């Protein structure tokens, strides 16, 4: 989370997220669709986090339990309490704000209003909106677009005072030529605006209660004009369909890669590197092309990841090398070397200096310091002691068709090539298992175990067989 910008006691944010979002064509509410590792709503809440608000209220549709769950998940990350309020019928943005106003505690005197689908918004821009003189009843973010189609247009008088916002569908031809648009983000004086919002009608082209009608009401009633604050146009874009979702995700990723590069991470080809916004990476680390880092992943200092490594919810230690690897829920220790072509599944823990090589799969397994699994092995539901050597083709036979069982391999043990370790089974410290063994019984420390049929050699018997 970025550092705190300002403190705003008495100010609440209201996030409008009850809309129907039909253009998304999805059973999942639009605001829960993800871009660069966070939901759209999560990006908006993340932009609020550094502002120091007193509370955050999200307006949701009825039966949106998954949206409520997402809001609850953000509670710990926002310094303000975040709650939801249900808008029973989607009767427009003004109606949504009306519902929210009624749900805010009395201590709230100022309200920051945002849509839930604008993931590119930065805290700095919201701070500039909050910097509007609190004696002004309404501040709004506006911007000038080459193609203002679809947005509400900002009408001003001869002196430049904001008079009104006219929606696309209610605008006449000359109003449609106005290129200054309403971003749909406001800061409001609650005492002045709440009664106006409560009185909003729905006499317009969409039959909705427009929040934007507050602007005209203020100008008309002499309560003071709204004040427009210029916003960077690329930050206010809403995500209305999946093409815009992909565009927004690309911008979010690019911003995060730039932050990382400025903080000392080398990214060889940013156009082909995909790093979620919550992934932290230490200085002097290098990301090679084709790398995807997702979720709660972190990478230490001086690590090398890629080419084409795909890590989800992984911790990568300092100096580790993770070549062409798929890993999910794995902890990769300091100076570990993984890959190419390894698959680390959830519950994998590789201690410092471990080597896991090509075509090795691990799952729910701890591999102790300095141990080696260099090639073609499966290590699942296992404990491998420090310094052990698991040779080529070893399999922990963990599943009997009904249950999973554990394999324990002691420190410094040597498991020869092609060995099947039929779990539950333990191989003691510094024990040695001969190549090609099928081990079904425990091997004591420092013992030598060989479990394979004796070789039969019949002199001359192959003569003539191979033509």
Residue 353 contacts which entry, ligand UD1, Mg ion, none (Cβ below 5-8 A, type-dependent): none
Rounded to a whole number, what is the distance in angstroms from the first to the last CA of the chain?
Answer: 74
Of 151 and 414, nearer to ligand UD1 (C-beta) is 151
Of 241 and 313, nearer to Mg ion (C-beta) is 241
Which of the residues 366 through 425 are near ligand UD1 (CB under 6 A)?
A: none
- Applying CB under 5 A, the span of 46-54, 88-96, 219-227, 233-241 interacting with Mg ion comes to 233-241
Residue 93 contacts which entry, ligand UD1, Mg ion, none (Cβ below 5-8 A, type-dependent): ligand UD1
Find the binder of ligand UD1 among 18, 82, 141, 443 (CB under 6 A). 18
Dihedral, 263, 268, 274, 276 alpha carbons, nearest 10: -10
Question: Measured between alpha carbons, how far is residue 457 from residues 27, 261, 462 in Å?
Answer: 67, 64, 10
- 137 lies in the binding site for Mg ion (CB under 5 A): no
Residue 67 contacts which entry, Mg ion, ligand UD1, none (Cβ below 5-8 A, type-dependent): none
User: Which pair of tokens denotes residue 350?
Assistant: 């590789």
Q: Which residue is nearest to Mg ion (CB)?
A: 238
Are the C-beta atoms of residues 85 and 59 closer than 8 Å to each other? yes
Task: Give the sign of the dihedral formed by CA 26, CA 142, CA 256, CA 115.
Answer: negative
- 59 lies in the binding site for ligand UD1 (CB under 6 A): yes
Find the binder of ligand UD1 among 42, 46, 137, 152 (CB under 6 A). 152
* Crossing angle for the helix pair 213-221 and 190-198, to the nearest 10 degrees: 110
- Applying CB under 6 A, the span of 50-58, 115-123, 225-233, 348-356 interacting with ligand UD1 comes to 115-123
**Closest among 96, 71, 75 to 18, alpha carbons compared:** 96
Of 251 and 447, nearer to ligand UD1 (C-beta) is 251
Find the binder of Mg ion among 29, 46, 137, 238 (CB under 5 A). 238
- 119 lies in the binding site for ligand UD1 (CB under 6 A): no
The bridge status of strand 110-115 relative to strand 180-189 is antiparallel
Examine the residue annotation and report whether 375 is marked as an active-site residue of this protein.
Answer: yes
Which of the residues 177 through 216 are near ligand UD1 (CB under 6 A)?
A: 181-184, 210-212
Find the binder of ligand UD1 among 55, 79, 91, 405 (CB under 6 A). 91
Collect all residues with Cβ–Cβ distance below 8 Å to 312 and sequence separation of at least 6: 294, 295, 297, 327, 328, 329
- What does the alpha-carbon distance between residue 51 and residue 54 come to, in Å, rounded to a whole number? 9
**Closest among 394, 345, 347 to 372, alpha carbons compared:** 394
Q: What residue has token string 């404990």?
A: 383
- 117 lies in the binding site for ligand UD1 (CB under 6 A): yes
- H helix runs in 131-280, sequence order: 173-176, 190-198, 213-221, 242-262
Under rule CB under 6 A, how many of the chain's residues touch ligand UD1? 27
Of 8, 43, 225, 375, catalytic: 375
What is the Cβ-side half-sphere exposure of residue 291, based on CA atoms within 13 angstroms? 27
Find the binder of ligand UD1 among 13, 17, 112, 219 (CB under 6 A). 17
- Applying CB under 6 A, the span of 11-19, 47-55, 71-79, 441-449 interacting with ligand UD1 comes to 11-19
User: Which pair of tokens denotes residue 33?
Assistant: 């669709």
Are the C-beta atoms of residues 94 and 197 closer than 8 Å to each other? yes
Find the binder of ligand UD1 among 45, 96, 171, 431 (CB under 6 A). 96
- What does the alpha-carbon distance between residue 416 and residue 418 come to, in Å, rounded to a whole number? 7
Are the C-beta atoms of residues 330 and 314 closer than 8 Å to each other? yes
- Report in angstroms how near the CB of residue 207 gets to ligand UD1 at its nearest: 11
**Closest among 382, 451, 445, 455 to 413, alpha carbons compared:** 445
Residue 182 contacts which entry, Mg ion, ligand UD1, none (Cβ below 5-8 A, type-dependent): ligand UD1
Of 185 and 365, nearer to Mg ion (C-beta) is 185
Active site residues: 375
Residues that bind Mg ion (CB under 5 A): 238
Residues that bind ligand UD1 (CB under 6 A): 16-19, 59, 87, 90-93, 95-96, 115-117, 151-152, 165, 167, 181-184, 210-212, 238
């Amino acid at each position: 989370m970025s550092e705190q910008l300002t403190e705003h006691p008495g100010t609440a944010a209201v996030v409008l997220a009850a809309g129907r979002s039909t253009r998304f064509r999805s059973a999942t509410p639009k605001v829960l669709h993800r871009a660069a590792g966070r939901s759209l709503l999560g990006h908006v809440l993340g932009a609020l986090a550094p502002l120091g608000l007193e509370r955050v209220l999200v307006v949701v549709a009825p039966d949106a339990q998954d949206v409520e769950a997402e809001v609850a998940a953000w509670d710990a990350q926002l310094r303000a309490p975040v709650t939801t309020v249900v808008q029973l019928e989607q009767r427009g943005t003004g109606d949504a704000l009306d519902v929210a106003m009624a749900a805010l505690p009395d201590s709230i005197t100022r309200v920051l209003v945002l849509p839930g689908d604008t993931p590119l918004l930065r805290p700095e821009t919201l701070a500039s909106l909050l910097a509007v003189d609190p004696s002004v009843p309404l501040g709004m973010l506006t911007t000038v677009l080459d193609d203002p189609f679809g947005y509400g247009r900002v009408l001003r008088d001869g002196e430049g005072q904001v008079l009104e916002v006219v929606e696309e569908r209610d605008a006449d031809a000359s109003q449609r030529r106005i290129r200054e648009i309403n971003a749909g983000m406001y800061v409001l004086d609650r005492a002045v605006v709440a009664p106006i919002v409560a009185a909003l009608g729905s006499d317009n082209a969409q039959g909705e209660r427009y929040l934007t009608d507050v602007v005209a009401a203020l100008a008309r009633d002499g309560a003071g004009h709204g004040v427009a604050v210029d916003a960077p146009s690329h930050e206010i874009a809403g995500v209305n369909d999946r093409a815009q979702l992909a565009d927004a995700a690309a911008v979010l990723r690019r911003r995060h890669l730039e932050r990382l590069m400025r903080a000392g991470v080398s990214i060889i080809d940013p156009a082909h590197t995909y790093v979620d916004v919550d992934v932290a990476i230490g200085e002097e680390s290098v990301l090679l092309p084709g790398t995807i880092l997702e979720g709660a992943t972190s990478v230490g200092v001086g690590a090398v990841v890629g080419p084409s490594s795909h890590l989800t919810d992984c911790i990568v230690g300092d100096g580790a090398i993770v070549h062409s690897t798929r890993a999910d829920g794995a902890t990769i220790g300091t100076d570990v070397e993984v890959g190419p072509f390894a698959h680390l599944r959830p519950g994998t823990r590789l201690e410092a200096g471990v080597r896991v090589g090509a075509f090795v799969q691990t799952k729910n397994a701890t591999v102790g310091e300095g141990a080696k699994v260099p090639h073609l092995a499966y290590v699942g539901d296992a404990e491998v002691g420090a310094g052990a050597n698991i040779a080529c083709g070893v399999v922990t036979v963990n599943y009997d068709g009904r249950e999973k069982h554990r394999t324990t391999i002691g420190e410094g043990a040597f498991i020869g090539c092609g060995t099947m370790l039929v779990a539950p089974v333990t191989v003691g410290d510094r024990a040695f298992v001969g190549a090609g063994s099928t081990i079904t019984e425990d091997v004591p420390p420092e013992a030598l175990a060989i479990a394979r049929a004796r070789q039969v050699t019949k002199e001359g018997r192959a003569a003539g067989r191979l033509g």
